[in-house]
Amino acid sequence: MAVSLILETTAYTLDQLLAVPEAQIALAGRSNVGKSSLINALAGRKKLAKVSATPGKTRSVNFYKVEPQNFYLVDLPGYGYARASHEERRKWAKLLEHYLTDCKTLKTLALLLDCRLPPQKIDLELASFARTCRLPLLPVLTKADKCSQRERSSRQKEWQDLLAVKPVLTSSSSRLGMEELWRALIAAADIAITDGATAPATVE
């Protein structure tokens, strides 16, 4: 699949994000889940997104254009970082809530989940918040290379039971699941575009 990812800017404010006319897919996950690594693996590049050995570092909203499909992957700041201040957490929650609720061109929330960990409360909370906004979820298990085949499938099943969607298994190190994830992302961006096209406004 010939897809390219281009970092457009890191300076988007929330209001600018809300006004983007192209389809958007948000990437969210707990700090250190492997989000930056996954973006680099999707892009097939080493340094597009900054991989951090220190959790809780990335606080900006990065905006990646997918070409030629012409939609955006929106890299949201990681959440659940234990040492983030109360103020930081409050700000993050507010931004996320506003974005998920009010962004009209946001098509799906790709929720990154560490394959090694049992379902975490904060992930379940975000998933259920997305549900209340009627935002489709695309669960993505990360770091699958750290798990045995057995762990991988039981974790996948566990999440499938919780979210009613089967997560895509990925590893940024081994590139497991990259093609499948690209297909899922493109489908998620397209589905909504098609939905719009099949529901034209009728004027009597």
Ligand X SMILES: Nc1nc2c(ncn2[C@@H]2O[C@H](COP(=O)(O)OP(=O)(O)O)[C@@H](O)[C@H]2O)c(=O)[nH]1
Please name the residues in contact with 115: beta carbons below 8 A apart, sequence gap of 6 or more: 141, 142, 143, 144, 146, 147, 151, 152, 155, 169
Helices (H), the chain: 14-18, 35-43, 86-102, 121-132, 149-163, 178-198
C-beta of 172: minimal distance to ligand X in Å? 4
Are 155 and 115 contacting, i.e. CB atoms less than 8 angstroms apart?
A: yes
Nearest CA to 42 out of 138, 162, 154 is that of 138
The amino acid that residue 30 corresponds to is R
* Site for Mg ion, residues 37 to 96, rule: CB under 5 A: 58
Rounded Cα distance between 166 and 173, Å, is: 22
Nearest CA to 168 out of 149, 140, 127, 146 is that of 140
139 binds, among Mg ion, ligand X, none (CB under 5 to 8 A by kind): none
Contact mark string toward ligand X, 30..59, x via CB under 6 A: -xxxxxxx-------------xxx-x--x-
C-beta of 115: minimal distance to ligand X in Å? 9
143 binds, among ligand X, Mg ion, none (CB under 5 to 8 A by kind): ligand X
Question: Considering CB under 6 A, how many residues would be counted as binding ligand X?
Answer: 21
Contact mark string toward ligand X, 131..170, x via CB under 6 A: -----------xx-xx------------------------
Q: How many CB atoms lie within 10 A of CB 148?
A: 9
CB-wise, 160 or 173, nearer to Mg ion? 173
Which of the stretches 84-92, 124-132, 171-179, 183-191 binds ligand X when contact is defined by CB under 6 A?
171-179
The site for ligand X (CB under 6 A) is made up of: 29, 31-37, 51-53, 55, 58, 78, 142-143, 145-146, 171-173
The site for Mg ion (CB under 5 A) is made up of: 35-36, 58
